[in-house]
Amino acid sequence: MLAPKPAVTVYDCQHSTSLPGTPIRNPSSSSDATAKRTFDETTAVADFFNTCFGRNSVDDHGMTLMSSIHYDVAYSNAFWNGSQMVYGDGDGQIFLDFTRSNDVIGHELTHGVTQYTAGLVYTNEAGALNESISDAFGSMFRQWQAGQTVENADWLIGADIMGPAASAKGYTCLRDLSNPGGAHCMSRQPFDYRNYVPQGDPHLNSGIPNFAFYQAAKSIGGRSWEKAGRVWYAALTSDRATKNMRFKSFARLTRAMAKQLFPDEPAIYAAVNDAWTSVGVR
């Protein structure tokens, strides 16, 4: 019998690169703010996927969610390595502690969900979709925690990890789903398929499906995870999703899922269809 909630464990790398590190007992009450934050936010991500999408952990079978903190020295990244989460403390200038941004935690754990569903490869359009899905669900998680509607949300990724040197240069985020090409984004992205960069980094080309998701959610209105999110999740978990999917195939799936999930609400399909069309994916 599956546990109703996945176990959440936190380890301390103590600035080494040896994983997983030393286990932290009772991270929920740890005096280490990074450990406590990691435990609390990871638990919240699990609750988000369970409450909104009926998913039990990233694998849907109650997989323990393991995280390692204080990885390396001034390490400016966070990543899902296929079996656990890893967080760096940042360099204190460009980036702050990566656990400070709940959307970053949601983003990285969503890579685990993608691994156990569509299994999108990390190259070309499939790689960009992989990154975009993590951005979409990371942003939805942030909105869900704050009880925000699509109108209230800022749609930024990584706003809380911008260090003083990044802020001094005018950067307010890593990426912005509502304005992927904005100068305030540390990673400016194309947001129309005409500007897709062949062999480009997945973080770059993800701006195109990111903007499609934002426009669909904004057009539908309300809470992003209730309708637009359900459409994207159904497409990701569909048995028709393939690991080498291109934008067009994923868009076609979301259109189909909009009709299937909301047959009495044609405006949902129209919003999804128009969003993809607007970014040049027909």
Please tell me whether residues 235 and 131 are part of one structural domain: yes
Active-site residue (options: 15, 184, 203, 265)? 203
Q: Smallest Cα–Cα separation from 45: which of 80, 88, 97?
A: 80
Whether residue 30 is found in the same domain as residue 144: no
Of 66, 100, 134, the residue at which a domain comes to its end is 100
Is residue 118 in some structural domain? no
- Verify that 261 and 197 share a domain, yes or no: yes
Largest CA distance in the chain: 55
75-133 per-position pLDDT tens digit: 999 999 999 999 999 999 999 999 999 999 999 999 999 999 999 999 999 999 999 99
- How large is the average pLDDT for residues 163-175? 98
pLDDT at 3: 62
111 lies in a domain?
no
111 included as an active-site residue? no
Residue 2: inside a domain, yes or no? no
Residue 87's CATH number:
3.10.170.10
Coil/strand/helix, residue 116: coil
Spatial distance between the Cα atoms of 190 and 47, rounded to a whole number of angstroms: 33
pLDDT of residue 218: 98
pLDDT at 2 over 90: no
Same domain, 41 and 128: no
Q: From CA 240, how far away is CA 272, in angstroms rounded?
A: 18
**143 lies in the same domain as 245:** yes
| Segment 32-47 mean pLDDT | 98
The CATH number of residue 180's host domain is 1.10.390.10
pLDDT of residue 5: 86
Q: Is residue 274 part of a domain?
A: yes
Average pLDDT, the chain: 97
DSSP 269: H
Span 219-271, pLDDT tens digits? 999 999 999 999 999 999 999 999 999 999 999 999 999 999 999 999 999 99
Q: Are residues 76 and 128 in the same domain?
A: no
Task: Examine the pLDDT at 147 and tell me if it is beyond 90.
Answer: yes
Residue 96: Cβ-neighbour burial (10 angstroms; 0-12, 13-18, 19+): buried
Tell me, yes or no, whether 271 and 135 share the same domain: yes
Q: Which domain holds residue 269?
A: 124-278
Q: Considering the chain, what percentage of its residues have pLDDT values greater than 90?
A: 98
Asked if residue 106 belongs to a domain, the reply is: no
What is the pTM assigned to this prediction? 0.97
Catalytic residue, candidates 41, 70, 107, 108? 108
- Tell me, what's the pLDDT at 1? 52
Residue 49 lies in a domain: yes
184 shares a domain with 135: yes
Same structural domain for residues 134 and 89? Answer: no
Verify whether residue 108 is a known catalytic residue. Answer: yes
The pLDDT score that the predictor gives to residue 103 is 98
Domain assignment present for residue 1? The answer is no
Domain match, 129 and 257 both: yes
pLDDT at 154: 96
Q: Identify whether residues 169 and 265 lie together within a single domain.
A: yes
Provide the number of structural domains found in the chain.
2
For residue 73, tell me if it sits in a domain: yes
Distances in whole angstroms, Cα of residue 144 to Cα of each of 149, 152, 226: 9, 11, 10
Contact 10, 84 (CB under 8 A): no
Is residue 44 located within the same domain as residue 135? Answer: no
